[in-house]
Chains A and B, each alone.
Chain A
């Protein structure tokens, strides 16, 4: 078992080999790159669904605006004060830093978990895009309560789209990444165009004199649709905060910020949060209200912006599913018997396409986003404790690297223990991560204090 794990770990190391060394001074990037990257990454197909769900969950205007303002601010501060400082000090990816702390065996588990989570996320994006194609062929989209595939025609559309997205992910990841940079400003413009063009349908007068009234009564009227839970300020605040939990608190974006000249570049995440996770969500809320609160992203996009809207929905799904499929393929590569990249991407694409057939992957998207962050969050807490807290108490850090361990049992215990704790915690899913994070910090520090002391020379 141990040798099998070591073998897997060695292959995993090979995949990430080019990231092994800290980023050199000459490779650091200007702040404009970070602003552009964040602005481009946070206008995805799922934005069409998230903003619309807030309307269906009966959020009021005040709760929505204050919740999004503060929640996104907390997300920006998490990138700035949690993720960016560690990335700038170590200049390492999360992969190599966790490997030093937890051992290569834990990275195999982490990568496998990531691959599964990425596949589900890409599946949601394919399903959202499929609603646009379904509209053209008069195939009814799944309803809010649907869990299983609703028709063979729906399955066929999903399979065609899934095959296309997978093929493109295999053929040209680099080229498509560049294409994605071109599409994102346009997708954002179509979001805004769709929202503005939906206003007359909702009865907003051209002088905007009744805009606040319409927003209060027709869009975010505080009444949840049947079968949907009522959301308030705290739901919105926590959702906006944890929407990218794996990236900021979970520290995945160390891979990005290790190229930053200063930790203050974390503030540039605001370029993604406020246009993408605020304006785009508000825009999709307006669009769903204009189609009678029907959760059908294709119908919303077509009704608000015509064929350009349908194109935006397809491209948003395609350009965001592509890197997700690629990453899932990369994560899978380590746990397969030396499969080439195309084969693992194909396997990830096939799994993703099957998942996308089940409407539940996008009808329960908000809950899935919460779970995604929750599963990976304890690893971020462990790294934070290793980087900032353990040295303060004079405790030994990076024990797996120093002792040549394949697995640091304390890391696995804290990860599993935290997940068990949050599962049992009698709180709403959205609020579970914060107590879980604090528990992971405290328990990892406690375990470290129980089991080790720093050699005298390492202090100070």
Chain B
């Protein structure tokens, strides 16, 4: 269960790495907001992705 949660947060972080520049391109964000957003999304990826990778898969119940 925890592994799935880490996976969701990791993938969301990666998605936000792309959402911020797209919003900037569309005029929704300033350049500063885009760059800070990218930093936070990147930090989030580097927190959750290693947890996702290091958490063992749940064993199927018998």
Contacts and interface: CB of A to CB of B under 8 A. Distances in A.
B42 A186 contact: yes
A199 B34 CA distance: 14
Nearest to A302: B35
A197 B34 contact: yes
A424 B54 CA distance: 53
B21 A196 contact: yes
Interface string A187-231: 001101110110110001010000000000000000000000000
Interface string A173-184: 000001101100
B24 A197 contact: yes
A192 B41 CA distance: 14
Contact of B18 (A182, A192, A206): A192
A305 interface: yes
Contact of A189 (B14, B34, B35): B14
B17 A189 contact: yes
A304 to B, nearest CB: 9
Query: Interface residues of B toward A: which range?
Result: 20 to 34
Interface in A304-354: 305-308, 311
A14 interface: no
Interface in B16-38: 17-18, 20-22, 24-27, 31, 34-36, 38
A185 interface: yes
A193 B19 CA distance: 8
Contacts of A182: 46, 49-50, 53
A197 B38 CA distance: 11
Report the contact-size class of chain A (Cβ under 8 Å from the partner).
Answer: 20 to 34
A338 to B, nearest CB: 36
A199 B25 contact: yes
Nearest to A179: B50
A305 B31 CA distance: 9
A34 to B, nearest CB: 18
Interface string A145-184: 0000000000000000000000000000000001101100
26 contacts: A182-B46, A182-B50, A182-B53, A186-B46, A190-B42, A192-B18, A192-B21, A193-B18, A193-B21, A194-B21, A196-B21, A196-B25, A197-B21, A197-B24, A197-B25, A197-B34, A200-B25, A206-B27, A305-B38, A306-B34, A306-B35, A306-B36, A306-B38, A306-B39, A308-B35, A308-B39
Interface of A: 178-179, 181-182, 185-186, 189-190, 192-194, 196-197, 199-200, 204, 206, 305-308, 311
Nearest 9 A-B pairs (CB), nearest first? A306-B35, A193-B21, A196-B21, A189-B17, A197-B21, A308-B38, A182-B49, A308-B42, A206-B26
